[in-house]
Amino acid sequence: MPDFFAYRDGELYAEGVPVARIAAAVGTPFYLYSAGSLTARYRRFADALAAERPLICFAVKANSNLAVLRLLGGLGAGADVVSEGELRRALASGIPPDRIIFSGVGKTGPELDAALAAGIRQINVESIPELRRLSEAATARGAAARIAIRVNPDVDALTHAKISTGKKENKFGIDIDEAGGAYELAGELPGIEPVGLALHIGSQLVDLAPFRRAFERVAELVIELRGRGHTVRRLDLGGGIGIRYHAETPPEPSAYAALVREVFGSLDLDLAFEPGRVLCGPAGLMVARVVYVKEGSSRRFVILDAAMNDLIRPALYDSWHDIVPVRLPATGAVLATCDVVGPVCETGDTFATERELPPMAENDLVALTNAGAYGAVMSSTYNSRLLVPEILVAAGRFAVVRPRPSYEAMLALDAVPDWLGDGSRLPGASAGELTGEPLRERGAA
Ligand code: LLP
Question: What is the CATH number for 321?
Answer: 2.40.37.10
CA of 406 to the centre of ligand 1 (A): 31
| Ligand 1 centroid to residue 228 C-alpha, Å | 33
| CA–CA distances in Å: residue 391 to residues 300, 376, 445 | 31, 11, 49
Return d(Cα 154, Cα 169) in angstroms, integer: 8
Measure Cα distances from 311 to 30, 66, 315 in Å.
10, 19, 8
Same domain, 307 and 434: yes
Query: Which residue CA neighbors atom 8 of ligand 1 most closely?
Result: 239
Exposure string of 125-141, with b = 16+ CB inside 10 Å and e = fewer, is bbbeebbebbbebbeee
Rounded CA separation 41/181 (Å): 39
Q: Is the pLDDT of residue 438 over 70?
A: no
Is the sign of the CA dihedral 148, 150, 240, 86 positive or negative? positive
Final residue before a domain boundary, out of 231, 246, 281: 281
Q: Which of 125, 277, 318 to mutate to test ligand 1, by most ligand atoms within 8 A of the CB atom? A: 277
Question: Which residue has the least CA distance to atom 20 on ligand 1?
Answer: 203
Say whether both 137 and 276 belong to one domain. yes
Strand-strand pairing, 336-341 and 17-18: unpaired
- pLDDT 10s digits, 20-33: 999 999 999 999 99
Number of residues in the chain:
445
49 with 19, same domain? no
Using the mean position of ligand 1's atoms as its centre, give its distance from the Cα of residue 243 in Å: 12
Please say whether the beta carbons of 398 and 22 come within 8 A. yes
Give the single-character DSSP code of 272.
Answer: E
* 25 plus 39 within the same structural domain: no
> How many distinct structural domains can be found in the chain?
2
Does 239 contact ligand 1 (Cβ within 6 A)?
yes
pLDDT grade for 3, boundaries at 50, 70 and 90: low
The residues that bridge with 235 in the sheet, in sequence order, are 197, 271
Q: Is the confidence at residue 10, as pLDDT, over 80?
A: yes
Residues 6+ apart with CB under 8 A from 271: 49, 52, 53, 54, 55, 234, 235, 236, 237, 260, 264
90 close to 70: Cβ distance less than 8 angstroms:
no
Q: What integer best gives the mean pLDDT of the chain? A: 95
Assess contact for 24 and 284: CB atoms under 8 A: no
Lowest mean pLDDT among 1-10, 173-182, 375-384, 420-429: 1-10
Indicate the residue among 254, 281, 308 that finishes a domain.
281
C-alpha 60 – ligand 1 centre gap (Å)? 9
Residue nearest to atom 6 of ligand 1 (CA): 239
Q: What are phi and psi of 294, to 5 degrees?
A: -115, 120
Residues 323, 190 within the same domain: no
- Relative orientation angle of helices 66-74 and 35-48, to the nearest 10 degrees: 40
60 in the same domain as 191: yes
38 lines ligand 1 (CB under 6 A): no
The predicted pLDDT at position 443 comes to: 43
Question: Do 275 and 421 sit in the same domain of this protein?
Answer: no
Q: What is the dihedral of CA 312, 361, 326, 32, to 10 degrees?
A: 30
- Which position has the higher pLDDT, 245 or 162? 245
Q: Are residues 211 and 360 in the same domain?
A: no
Q: How confident is the model at residue 46 (pLDDT cuts 50, 70, 90)?
A: very high
> What are 205-209's contacts with CB under 8 Å, separation 24+?
205/157, 205/158, 205/159, 205/240, 205/241, 205/242, 205/250, 206/158, 206/159, 206/242, 206/248, 206/249, 206/250, 206/251, 207/158, 207/251, 208/251, 208/255, 208/256, 208/259, 209/158
Pairing of strands 350-357, 300-304: unpaired
Q: Rounded mean pLDDT of 115-138?
A: 98
Q: How are beta strands 11-14 and 17-18 bridged, if at all?
A: antiparallel
Question: What is the domain extent for residue 88?
Answer: 35-281
DSSP 131-199: HHHHHHHHHHHT--EEEEEEEE------S-GGGB--STTSSSSEEHHHHHHHHHHHHHSTTEEEEEEE-
Residue 353 near residue 264, CB atoms below 8 Å: no
Q: Are residues 186 and 251 in the same domain?
A: yes
Q: Is-contact 6 324, C-beta < 8 A?
A: no
| Per-residue model confidence as pLDDT tens digits over 150-202 | 999 999 988 888 877 888 888 989 999 999 999 999 999 999 999 999 999 99
205 vs 62: CA distance, rounded Å: 15
Query: Does one domain contain both 49 and 152?
Result: yes
State pLDDT tens for residues 64-88: 999 999 999 999 999 999 999 999 9
Strand 234-236 to 30-34 pairing: unpaired
> How many CB atoms neighbour CB 71 within 10 A?
23
**Residues 7 and 99 occupy one common structural domain:** no
- Is there an atom of ligand 1 within 6 Å of 152 CB? no
CA distance 371 to 312: 10
Nearest-atom number in ligand 1 for the CA of 150 is 3
In tens, the pLDDT along 281-340 reads 999 999 999 999 999 889 999 999 999 999 999 999 999 999 999 999 999 999 999 999
Q: Domain ends where: 247, 281, 315? A: 281
Query: Do 153 and 199 touch, CB atoms closer than 8 A?
Result: yes
Cα–Cα nearest to 124, from 168, 93, 79, 90: 79
Which of 42-62 are b and which e, b meaning 16 or more Cβ less than 10 Å from the residue's Cβ? Answer: beebbebbeebebbbbbbbbb
Q: Is 20 in the pocket of ligand 1 (CB under 6 A)?
A: no
Q: Is the peptide bond before 359 cis (omega within 30 degrees of 0)?
A: no
CA distance 153 to 20: 47
**How remote is the CA of residue 105 from the centroid of ligand 1, in Å?**
13
Pair (154, 68) in one structural domain: yes
| Residues with active-site annotation | 345
CA 277, chain centre distance (Å): 7
Q: How confident is the model at residue 445 (pLDDT cuts 50, 70, 90)?
A: very low
What is the domain-level CATH number for residue 76? 3.20.20.10
Question: Smallest Cα–Cα separation from 141: which of 102, 185, 182, 192?
Answer: 192
Q: Is the CB of 80 under 6 A from ligand 1?
A: yes
